[in-house]
Each structure stands twice: as C-alpha cells, then as structure tokens.
Structure 1
Amino acid sequence: MNINILDNDQLVLMDQLISDANTVLVVCHKSPDGDAVGSTLGWAEFMRHRGKDVTVIVPDQYPDFLKWLPNTEKIVRYDKHTEKCDMLFKIADLIFCLDFNTPSRVDEMQQALVSSPAKKVQIDHHLKPDLDAALVVSHPEASSTCELVFRIVWQMGAFDQLDKQFAVPVYCGMMTDTGGFTFNSNRPEIFLIISELLTKHIDKDRIYRNVFHNYSENRIRLMGYVMYEKLQYMPEYHAAFYSLTRDELKRFNYIKGDTEGLVNIPQQIKGLKLSISLREDTEKPNLVWVSLRSVDDFPCNLMAEEFFNGGGHLNASGGRVDGSIEDAIEITKKAIIAYQNKLK
C-alpha cells in the first residue's frame, strides 16, 4: 500500500526548502484543536531531527486536555508573547503553516505571518487553500493534517529515526480529528499509519484517556445541562441543536476545551443526521461560534458556507454568526429547513 503523498517535484522542493533554512517556525490556526497542536508538535520534532532551530507558535490558548502532550511547554502563544513572536516572524527563514487553509484563520497573527519575508509551506486538509506559499500540500480527503505530516515524514525517510516525541502528538491529532476514528477514517492507509505509529511504543489507550477522560467536574455537569435543558430536537428533520450563552458558560466555570466534543453527543439519537452547536464567545459581544456534525452524505460544509460564514469537511464543519445568540438560533432553524430534503 502506497502512503506517499508528495509528487517528485514536491518532494525535491520540500527537501530543498528545509535544507536551506536555519530558523523555522511552525504555526497553526486560532483556537487550536488536537490536530492543530498534534501536527505542529510532530512537525517540529521532525525539524529538530533535521537540525533546525524551530519554534511552534499558536495564536491563542489551546485546550487543557492537550497540555500533557510532549513538548507543549515549548509552544509560544502569540496573544501572550506578541513582541517575541513578531520578532521571530521577521527573522525566520521558513514558516510551516499547518491545519489552516487561509491566513485569516490565524486571527490577530495574520499580519505578522503575511508580512514575514520567510518562505512558507502549507500543509493542510481543508478545502480551498488560499495562502501565498512556496509549496502547498493540500489534501482535503485526508483524515487530518497529522496524517499528512506522517506521510510526508515517512516519504522523506525520517520516520525510523523518530520516536514517541513524534508519534504521540501525530496519533493524538489523527484520533481527535476523526472522533476516535469514528468518522472520515475509512481509508485503509489510515490504519497502516496507526500500525506504524504503534511501533514507537505509544500507548494509544492512554492517549485516548488523556484526551477524552480528562475533564473537570464542571465540564461533566455542563454536558448534562446541555443535553437535558438546552438540546432542541427536530425529529421531523432528523436534526438537533443547542445554544450556550456567555452567562451559562460562566455558571459552569467554562475553560477552553470544555465544549469540545459536545456537538457529537446528539448523534447518538437514532436516525439523527445533523447536530449543531451554538456558543457565545466569552469575550467578544455579538459573536457566536458554530460547530456542525453530520453522518453519511449530509454536507455540513455546504451548510456552514451558506449560513454560518464557515466551511470545513463533509461531516464536520464550523463557522460563526456575527450577531446575538437569538440571531444564531433563528439562522440555524432556517438552515435546517432549507436543507430539509437532504435531511429527510
């Protein structure tokens, strides 16, 4: 089975760009998830193997349940160390942009990224890549950016020399971006990759527990509150959604990551095709974050593009509503009705 992902020209260019660089940055999108953090940590480990001075920069906070990953203490947050990061962007030779398709996804870090004189390489699995880069490795069919990181490292012949510091975050990112390999994970090469990662003596069961069994009591109570009090089930459309206000999040002492995965739970309802989460931003007024999950061939990404200023994958997408939570609820209802033929 062939797991190579680069064509010959891309392979030569990738190797040349890495060889020519001394100072390397690895960056990801705002509100980093498991795939963003895992891919940046894994790729940074590969860069160390290549002898590079490498720094991982993330735009802002990532979830607490990822802080056990190896080398997270080396991650630099742009929102906390802006001056240092701006300097690094100015002096870098090469920047790897992982797990985002367009510069706006890095939010307040965008200007520093775009204006940096460094050459850029994009490695991503989202649709419509839009980054001025010397090399773009874009494969929307991939399960995750971590999958792409593994395949590139494998193709470049470095996997045998790497250890758990590479394998653990890469496996974690693949696992989280597929919901524990429950969606977007039917291709056989994914499990070939997993089998190779296991040769590095990673404990995949512990990785699962560290991510999915690592929440606070408040998160568990929030989950119960959402499912009992807030879930709106629309059986005639095989859809469900819930909303969370800033005050409700504060009531449960919300921290970054506490709502991760909640949108998947309503999918346990028999026959449900679509689940939507609406969450008020905890700091900015009139901003609601939207997550969509679906099964089979229902196009979350199209609904996200049409109604929620977003996009993503067929069964997992995201977006935003620039308005109140009430606005977001009304838009959600309109979106569900508009797609009723596909839902029924």
Structure 2
Amino acid sequence: MQINILTDKECGLIKNLIETSEKIIVCCHVNPDGDAIGSSLGMAEYIRSYGKQPLVIVPDQFPDFLKWLPGSEDIIRYDKHKSVADTAFEDADTVFCMDFNCVERVDGMSEALQASKSTKVMIDHHPNPQMDTLVTVSHPELSSTSELVFRVIWQLGSFDTMTPNMAVPIYCGMMTDTGGFTYNSNTPEIYFIISQLLMKGIDKDKIYRNVFNNYSSSRLRLIGYILYNKMQVNEEYHVAWFTITRQDMTRFMFKKGDAEGLVNMPLQIKGLKMSISLREDTEKSNLIWVSLRSVDDFPCNEVAKEFFNGGGHLNAAGGRLHCSIEEAENIVKLAIIRFADQLSR
C-alpha cells in the first residue's frame, strides 16, 4: 500500500517550517466546501501538535453544515475581519495554502496573500498549480486535499499522535469531496486511510449525518422546487441543467450550503452524462456560480474551462460567469453543442 507522496527533502522542509515558524496561517479558497474546510482544520490541528497556534483564515462564509467541525468556531473570515486578517498575513512566517492552485481562487484575499512575505506551502489536488511556493504538494489524481493532509501527517511519522480533532475534519473532507465516496474514490488506498481514521475513534456515521442530514425543511422544499420546476433535460445529448435565482433563494430562505449536492441529483437519470447548476450570487448582480458533474470519461472540467472560466476534475468541476442567468443558460446550450459528439455517444 503506497501512502507516501513526499520526497525526503519535502518532508524535511515542511517539518522544519512548522518547527521554526512562530506565526502560521492556514487558508483555503473562496466559497469553502467540505474539503477546503476539512483539510484546513485538519492541517491546523496537526500544526498545533507542535505547540504552535496557527490561524485558519477563509475568504468568505462557509456552509452551516460544517460549523460543527472541531476548530470551526475559531475560523477567521476575511470578508468580515479584513484588518485582522491583513495584519496576520503581513506578520506570517509561513502560510499553508489548502485546496487551491492559484491566488485567484482566494478572490478578495488574493492581494493580502500575494503581498505576504511568508514562506508558502501548497497542498492541493487540483491540476496545474500556478503559485510560487517553497513546497508544492500537488496530486490531482487523489480524491481530495484532505486525503493529502492524511498522507502528509502519515509520512511525517505523526499518525500515532493523530487526535480525533485531526481525524474528523480529514474524514469529513474526503467524504464530501467524493459525494460520500461515490465518485473519484476508486482506489484501495482511500479505504485503507478510512480504516486508519476509524482507529482514531471517529464516528463516520455521525459525520455523515452531521453533513448530509443537517438541513432545514426549506432546503428540502428548495430541492423539490428546483427539480420539478427548473430542471431542463436534453435527452438527445444526455445533459441536464437548472438555475437557482435570488428570487428562488429568498422564497426558500436559502443559507450557504443549501445547494450542496443538488447538482449531483440529475445524474440519477438513466443515461445522463452531465449535470450543470447555475446559481446567482446572493449579493452581486450578474455573477453566476457554475457547478458541473459528469460520469465515466466525460470531461466536465474541459467544459468548465472552455465555457465557464473554471476547471476542476474529470467528473467534478466549477466556474463562474459575469452575466445574467438567461445569458448563462444560453452559454450552457452553446457548451452542449460544442461537446455534442461526446455527449451523444
């Protein structure tokens, strides 16, 4: 079973940075998901085992269904505490960049991150890393950044001292970034890692309930409304898409995270190859958040890159558009035409 991913030099550099740095930041991408928060909290807790007090800083709000995670109460939101966060980046010795591959992915926090004279370490599973770092731990073939955090801790010889406060967010991040281990999770190593995390006393069933069975009734009604009234299905090209407008969100008392997993649901339709979600930003006009999911070998990341200013993995990708929701739907139709040959097979 091959768990190691670091060279001896990388092991030495990461360990030395943690041991010698007094002010450490762990940060992640805008619109943090389960993997971004899980990997950040897991890494921060590992750093605490060295007697350090790292700060976890995120660009903006993260979903309510992740606020039970140990350590989440201490997360600093850049959009709410900009001056505090700016000072932290200015003073930092080392910054661990979790679950993003370029500074643009931290949105409004990018200027502070770029201006920071700290040493940077990237731990990420998205393709094509584009940051200037001392150490880049980049493995797009692996399920999640949280899996990378486990592998780093394992290889640095710290598994025996891993606490539940490390293990729980790591498992949560792996679970959420694979849809409950239903995609991007077909390697034996993942299940070996799960077995090791279970040895730390985590309750994987409770973690699942806390994430997937922790919504309001309004969220369930939103899902029903979107699937019945808004979902469009193109049977010829095996694609479905739907829109979520600010009006929809107001009607169903939308909270951050209420749309989580919704883009996966159309893939339950027999023969469907790709599902696309178009969601208006809750505050900014003409900003559409795009999520794409696909099955088998259809590359929804290529669709995201070519049409939605985004990217990601073969079967899970995202992007954004600066336009109206109607224009976004038209772009979806153009994307379907462009990839018609692959979709219609």
- Shorter-chain TM-score tier: over 0.9
CA offset digits 1:164-205 (Å, max 9, x no partner) = 100000000000000000000001101000000000111100
- What is aligned with 2:47? 47
Q: 1:122 matched to which residue of 2?
A: 122
1:23 Cα deviation after fit: 1.0
Shift in Å at residue 277 of structure 1? 0.3
Q: Which is further off, 173-182 or 75-84?
A: 75-84
Structure 2 equivalent of residue 153 of structure 1: 153
Q: Which runs of no fewer than 5 residues in structure 2 stay unpaired?
A: none
Q: Deviations over 1:235-276 (max 9, x none)?
A: 100110001111111111111001010000000001111000
Distance in 2 between residues matched to 1:60 and 1:160, nearest whole Å: 34
For 1:292-307, what aligned pairs fall within 5 Å after superposition? 292-307=292-307
- How does the TM-score come out when normalised to structure 2? 0.99
- 1:133 correspondence with 2:124: no
Question: Could you list the per-position Cα deviations for residues 20-49 of structure 1 after superposition, in whole angstroms to 9, with x for gaps in the alignment?
Answer: 211110000011000000000000000000
The residue number in structure 2 matching 1:35 is 35
Match of 1:96 in 2: 96
| Residue 159 of structure 1: how far off its partner (Å) | 1.4
Residues 221-300 of structure 1: matches in 2 within 5 Å?
Answer: 221-300=221-300
Output one character per residue of 1:125-176: Cα deviation in whole Å (capped at 9) or x when no partner: 0011111111111110010000000000000011111211000000000000
Structure 2 CA distance, aligned partners of 1:206 and 1:91? 38
Shift of residue 19 of structure 1? 2.0
Name the amino acid aligned to 2:156. M
Kindly state the Cα deviation for residue 283 of structure 1 after the two structures are TM-superposed.
0.7
Output the CA distance in 2 between the equivalents of 1:253 and 1:113: 34
Please state how far the C-alpha of 1:288 moved relative to its aligned partner: 0.6
Q: Which residue of 1 aligns with 2:85?
A: 85
> What is the one-letter code of the residue matched to 2:227?
M
**1:283-330 CA-partner distances (Å, limit 9, x unpaired):** 111111100000000001100000000000000000111100011000
Q: What is the alpha-carbon distance in structure 1 between the residues aligned to residue 108 and residue 241 of structure 2?
A: 30
Query: Cα deviation per residue 1:36-92 (whole Å; 9 max; x = unaligned)?
Result: 000000000000001212110011110000001111111111111111111111111
Distance in 1 of aligned mates of 2:234 and 2:322: 24
Q: How many residues align?
A: 344
What SS does the aligned partner of 1:85 have?
helix
> 1:220 Cα shift?
0.3
Partner of 1:210: 210
- For 2:326 and 2:209, how far apart are their aligned partners in 1? 36
1:23 and 2:23 correspond: yes
Cα distance in structure 2, aligned partners of 1:102 and 1:15: 23
- 2:54 partner SS: strand
Q: Percent identity?
A: 61
Q: Distance in 2 between matches of 1:286 and 1:71?
A: 35
Q: Once the 2 structures are TM-superposed, how far is the Cα of residue 340 of structure 1 from its aligned partner?
A: 1.2
What letter is aligned with 1:238? H
Q: Which amino acid aligns with 2:311?
A: G
The Cα RMSD (Å) is 0.7
Q: Distance in 2 between matches of 1:266 and 1:55?
A: 39
TM-score (norm 1): 0.99
Question: In terms of mean alpha carbon deviation, does 125-134 or 292-301 score higher?
Answer: 125-134
Runs of 4+ in 1 over 4 A off after TM superposition: none
1:60 matched to 2:60? The reply is yes
CA deviation after TM superposition for structure 1 residue 14, in Å: 1.5
Q: CA deviation at 1:7?
A: 1.3
Distance 2:70 2:13 in 1: 29
Give me the whole-angstrom Cα distance separating, in 2, the residues matched to 1:38 and 1:220. 25
